[in-house]
């Protein structure tokens, strides 16, 4: 085992499920929390139900962890009030629990959509200003800001992963740039959890080694993982893959359209 006691919020989600299965053989203990039902599937798994809106429940769920992987929250566009509660306030409760409990490393699941309005022809660095493509992107930009605050003000070690399109394989043309394979997702998470826990904050794009990608891969001194999969090997199975990408169009694709957000504005 190379991992200690890892708490995973949002453990019932798509990424949480994949990461949990991959890491259980390496972890001393997985503390799994979500607001939906979960059950332990191995002797080194412990289920601790919690709603991220309840700070006391969050602190109880994270107690005893060496590191936290925070995946919980609303994963797509929604009314701002709901996103603020789940994604922003929930993240605040996770970081505050980590501060109070003295947890050495917090990994926050951010999103590429915190910067989705950069043009497709621009190789985007996480060091550039955020350009959210919608209300969901705004909530993830706020999540990153909270992580930065807790690192600077309280000395936490916080690493944000701007997650790409997580799926077994790409299914549409945009995915050929944004795909994050399950194997690479686990690799990025493992590297983030095991990186030396020193005070500070960093953001890195978690994306496979796609030939058409929009985003910089992490510097090795930030995150010691090199992705291995390339969406291009699936391009023959993606309708429209042969069509050229407009380099001036937003990287977010359809998520940048006004109608994607207007339906959530009442």
The predicted-structure confidence for 80-113, as pLDDT tens digits, reads as follows 999 999 999 999 999 999 999 999 899 999 999 9
213-242 residues labelled b (16+ CB within 10 A) or e (exposed):
bbbebbeeebbebebebbbbebbeebeebe
Q: Which helix (H) or strand (E) holds 168?
A: none
pLDDT at 2: 77
User: Which structural domain, as residue segments, surrounds residue 165?
Assistant: 3-262
CATH number at residue 130: 3.40.50.720
User: What number of H helices and E strands is found in the chain?
Assistant: 8, 9
pLDDT digits (tens, 9 = 90+) for 217-243: 999 889 999 999 999 999 999 999 999
The residues annotated with a catalytic role in the active site are 136
State pTM to two decimals.
0.96
Hey, what are 70's tokens?
Answer: 């925070």
pLDDT digits (tens, 9 = 90+) for 22-42: 999 999 999 999 999 999 999
Domain count, the chain: 1
Backbone dihedral angles phi then psi of residue 143, each to the nearest 5 degrees: -60, -45
Kindly state the average pLDDT of the residues 252-256. 97
pLDDT at 1: 53
Residue with tokens 């990994």: 107
Backbone dihedral angles phi then psi of residue 9, each to the nearest 5 degrees: -85, 155
| Strand partners for 162 | 110, 205
């Amino acid at each position: 085992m190379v991992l200690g006691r890892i708490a995973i919020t949002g453990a019932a989600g798509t990424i949480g499920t994949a990461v949990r299965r991959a890491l259980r053989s390496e972890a001393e203990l997985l503390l799994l929390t979500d607001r939906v039902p979960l059950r332990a599937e191995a002797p080194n798994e412990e289920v601790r139900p919690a709603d991220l809106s309840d700070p006391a429940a969050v602190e109880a769920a994270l107690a005893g962890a060496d590191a936290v992987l925070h995946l919980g929250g609303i994963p797509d566009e929604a009314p701002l009030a709901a996103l603020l509660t789940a994604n922003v306030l929930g993240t605040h409760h996770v970081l505050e629990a980590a501060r109070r409990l003295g947890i050495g490393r917090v990994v926050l699941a951010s999103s590429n959509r915190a910067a989705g309005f950069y043009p497709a022809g621009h190789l985007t660095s996480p060091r550039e200003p955020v350009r959210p493509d919608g209300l969901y992107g705004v909530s993830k930009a706020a999540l990153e800001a909270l992580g930065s605050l807790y690192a600077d003000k309280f000395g936490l070690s916080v690493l944000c992963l701007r997650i790409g399109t997580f799926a077994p394989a790409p299914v549409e043309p945009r995915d050929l740039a944004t795909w994050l394979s399950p194997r690479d997702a686990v690799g990025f998470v493992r590297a983030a959890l095991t990186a030396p826990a020193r005070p500070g904050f960093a953001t890195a794009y978690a994306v496979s080694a796609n030939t058409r990608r929009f985003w910089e891969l992490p510097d090795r001194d930030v995150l010691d993982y090199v992705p291995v999969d390339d969406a291009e090997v699936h391009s023959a199975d993606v309708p429209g893959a042969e069509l050229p990408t407009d380099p001036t169009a937003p990287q977010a694709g359809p998520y940048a359209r006004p109608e994607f957000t207007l339906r959530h504005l009442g």
